[in-house]
Every structure is written in structure tokens, then in C-alpha cells.
Structure 1
Amino acid sequence: MSVSLPSIPREFLGGWQRTLYAEPATPPYQQADTTTQVVWLQGEQWHADLRLPANGPDFSGITCLEGCDRRQLEWLAGLTAFAGVTQIEGERRSLLCTWHRFQNLCPGLEKDVGLLQWINGTTLEERHPHDHYVEHWQQISTEAAEEEIRCDEQGHLRWLQLGNHAMAITPRAVTASSAALFEPLSDLTDDALRWRASLCFNYLQRDQDGWQVVLSTQPWRVGERLSASTLN
């Protein structure tokens, strides 16, 4: 896939974890979340983002999508995980960021945009343009890390690596029923839910033994060992 967007400012490159989501953007918050596990990897153009709520169903004994019951499938298909390219415009004190989502586990029709400003040297604030929400992001790796990108023949991002952090993505099978992406989960058959949930995002960290899955949109994969070469 040919992308003509310019590279984003270097201070935003690296890995980020979310420490706060709150609505509205200013206190007193009506709703706040500090328990969802969220990782955002940002390269020079590509991004990948994975979000796992803490109140998910039990997946003990599950080893594949075929083994999931209806409740588990709806939870998996409704997760937030996406990848694409990032566009940042404006000056440092007034930055507008757009995350163009090319792959999306649970897509919607609303554009993903936020206003960015620094809280300190390693913490970034993202605010909805109309103050609907605020998010705080803590940097977990920096722009000095090596970046490696792998895409498939269809232009889908398969591997985004920033130093010792990586996101491995397995795309859905091509199907004629892509309209199912926008239907309510409760209206879908179990087979359609499995297809929706088959877009898999794995967040990995590298140690002396190689790459290990730390978070995944398919929870039974946590702990697995993977490498970029397995995605070919």
C-alpha cells in the first residue's frame, strides 16, 4: 500500500500504554477507566493499537475460536484493536492527530481524531476535539528503537516492531459478506462472529529467548512464542 503522508514528529514515535480514559475531558469525571490494558505502537507512519478490558469472560480451556461459546464470541468480536497510518498536524501546543484505521476489529463510521499535548516529558494527553473524553498515555519505549514493518500483498500490516515491542496482526479471510462488519453483534450468527473475531492482534515483547505474546485479542495466545518470519 502506497502511503504519501509525511512522517510524524519523532517525539511521538515508540510504544505507549494508556493510564487513564475519562469522560468528559475535564473533572468531575462521570466515567473513568484505569484498568483496561491498552498498548499503542507508533512508527514513522504506521500505528497499531490493542485494548483489552479487565472484565472479560473466562477463556480457561479455550484454544481456538471454534471452542468459544456465544458470550465469548461477542466479547472477542467487540474488542477494540486497529492499525493504519497516523497523521499529525499543527504546532507543538496545538496538535491534531488522525489515526486512519485500515484494519479494524470492530469498525465504526466515526473518524478517530484527537488533540495532543504533553503533560510531562513521557506522558501525553489526548483530548476529544469536543471534550467528550480525555486519555493519558505513558511512554514505554522511545524513537531510538529500531523499526521494522511487514505488510502482505494486499497492503495489510502484519508486523510492526519498535525495538523490543511489536504488534503481529493476522487478517481476516476474504469474504463477500463484509457488510457484517457493521451489523450489531447480537444479530450475527456464531459463524459470522468467528469471522469478525478472526482478525487477531498480538502484542509481543522481546527477551533473551525471543518474542513472546503479552496481550492478544485471542487470549489463549498469551504466552506463545512468535516471530516476524511466521507471518509470511
Structure 2
Amino acid sequence: MNVDLPATPQAFRGVWQRTLYAEPAKEPYQQADTTTQVYWIQGKHWHADLRLPTDSPDFAGITGLDDCNRRQLEWLAGLTAFAGITQIDSELGVCTWHRYQDLCPSLERDVGLLRWIDGNTLEERHPHDQYVEHWQQLSSDAAEEVIQTDQQGQLRWLQIGDHAIAITPRPAANVSNLFSTLSTANDDTLRWRASLCFDYLQRSQDRWQVVLSTQPWRKGQQVRR
């Protein structure tokens, strides 16, 4: 996939962990979330992001999508995980995340206003103050970046230093199924939607370990690269 957009400014590159999501963007907040595990890896052009809330069903004994019941499938297919190209207007602080792969897509554009709170904490605010997010930087913006894409130009591996997100694509199917509601989709459609897998990995020595995954039974698996 050709990337024609300007490179992401160096200061925004790296690995980020979300520490706050709140609505609306200004206090007093009507709701706030500090427990969902969220990681965003931002490279020169590519980004990858996955978010795992704490209200997970029990996946004990589950080894694959075929083992999942209806409640588990709806939860998996409704998770937030996406990857694509980032566009930042550094003068205005406007960031657009162009989502080329999206586990649970919507028709709304992903746009946020960015500003620094301190040297390694970034605030993302909805343009109309619907929400605010705080992001803590976990890695140096100078850490090595490694990218792998497939023959279609879609992202499969984005690595910054000892952190990476690996993406396993869905098999080809009717894309209109992406926009059906979870409650009306049949089980086969939910399995297909949830088959787009995002793994967040960390490296220790020469081994990569899955720390979080949109397919929870993969957590703890080791991967050699």
C-alpha cells in the first residue's frame, strides 16, 4: 500500500498506553474509564490499536472461535481494534486515524485534537468535546520500528522496540456483514467478524509473548520472530 501522507511527527511515534477515557471532555465527567487495557503503537505512517475491557466473559477452556457460545461471540465481535495510516496536522494538533482494518467498524471518522499535558503524557480530545483520553508513552520515540505488510498492502506486524502488534486477517467474505448489528448477526457472521485478530506482544530476549489479544485464549503464547 502506497503511503502518500506526510510522516507522523517524531514526538508522536512510539508505544502508548491509555490511562483515562472520560465523557464529556470537560469535568465534571459523566462517566470515566481507567480499567480498559488499551495500547496504541504509532510508527512513521502506520498505527495499530487494541482495547480490552474488563467485562470479559469467561473463556476458560476455549481454544478457538468454534468453541465460543453466542455471548462470547458477540463480545469478541464488538471489541475495538484497528490499524491503518495516521495523518497529523502538527500546527493545528488535529489527528486523523485512517482505519484500513477495523474489528468493529463504524461510519464515523476517527479524528482527535492532540496536546501535551507533560513530557510523556498526551491528551486526545474529540473535536466537539464528546470525550477526552489520556495517553502515557511507554517507549522512546527513537526506538527501532519494524513493519510487515501482506501482498495486498495491509499491515500484519508493527513493532516499536520491544513492543509489537500482530494482525491476523479475516478470510474473504461479504463485507456488508461488517455493518450488521451484533444482535441480529448469526453465529457464523460473528465468528467471521471476530476472526480479525490483534495481538499485543512484548519481547524478552529473543522471544515475543502475547500480552493481550482480541482472541483471549492466545494470551501468554510465545512467538518467535
Which of 207, 215, 219 matches 1:218? 215
Q: Which residue of 2 aligns with 1:171?
A: 169
Matches within 5 A, 1:58-97: 58-91=58-91, 94-97=92-95
Q: Which residue of 1 aligns with 2:201?
A: 204
Over residues 41-97 of structure 1, what are the superposed CA-to-partner deviations in whole Å (9 max), with x where a residue is unaligned?
000000000000011101011000000000000000000000000000042xx3000
Q: Which residue of 1 aligns with 2:141?
A: 143
Matches within 5 A, 1:25-174: 25-91=25-91, 94-174=92-172
Residue ranges of structure 2 left out of the alignment (5+ in a row): none
Q: Which residue of 1 aligns with 2:187?
A: 190
In structure 1, how many angstroms separate the alpha carbons of the residues matched to 2:166 and 2:206?
17
User: When the two structures are aligned, how many residues end up with a matched partner?
Assistant: 225
Q: Is the 8 A contact 2:10 2:44 kept in 1?
A: yes
Whichever residue aligns with residue 50 of structure 1, its letter is: L
- Report the 3-state secondary structure (helix = DSSP H, G, I; strand = E; otherwise coil) of the residue aligned with 2:15: strand
Whichever residue aligns with residue 30 of structure 2, its letter is: Q
In structure 2, how many angstroms separate the alpha carbons of the residues matched to 1:226 and 1:152?
19
In structure 2, how many angstroms separate the alpha carbons of the residues matched to 1:97 and 1:194?
32
CA RMSD of aligned residues (A): 0.8
Q: 1:227 to 1:98 in 2, by over 3 A?
A: farther
| Runs of 4+ deviating beyond 2 Å | none
- Report the 3-state secondary structure (helix = DSSP H, G, I; strand = E; otherwise coil) of the residue aligned with 2:55: coil
Note the C-alpha offset of 1:156: 1.2
Note the C-alpha offset of 1:209: 4.6
Whichever residue aligns with residue 63 of structure 1, its letter is: T
In structure 2, how many angstroms separate the alpha carbons of the residues matched to 1:174 and 1:143?
36
In structure 1, how many angstroms separate the alpha carbons of the residues matched to 2:211 and 2:88?
29
Over residues 153-195 of structure 1, what are the superposed CA-to-partner deviations in whole Å (9 max), with x where a residue is unaligned?
11110000100000000000011x2101000011111111000
In structure 1, how many angstroms separate the alpha carbons of the residues matched to 2:183 and 2:153?
31
Residue ranges of structure 1 left out of the alignment (5+ in a row): none
- Report the 3-state secondary structure (helix = DSSP H, G, I; strand = E; otherwise coil) of the residue aligned with 1:185: coil
In structure 2, how many angstroms separate the alpha carbons of the residues matched to 1:49 and 1:81?
5
In structure 2, how many angstroms separate the alpha carbons of the residues matched to 1:150 and 1:208?
21
Normalised by the size of structure 1, how large is the TM-score?
Answer: 0.96
Q: Which residue of 2 aligns with 1:12?
A: 12
Note the C-alpha offset of 1:198: 0.1
In structure 2, how many angstroms separate the alpha carbons of the residues matched to 1:121 and 1:169?
30
Whichever residue aligns with residue 77 of structure 1, its letter is: A
Whichever residue aligns with residue 86 of structure 1, its letter is: T
Q: Is the 8 A contact 2:14 2:141 kept in 1?
A: yes
- Report the 3-state secondary structure (helix = DSSP H, G, I; strand = E; otherwise coil) of the residue aligned with 2:86: strand
Normalised by the size of structure 2, how large is the TM-score?
Answer: 0.98
In structure 2, how many angstroms separate the alpha carbons of the residues matched to 1:73 and 1:88?
35
Note the C-alpha offset of 1:227: 3.6
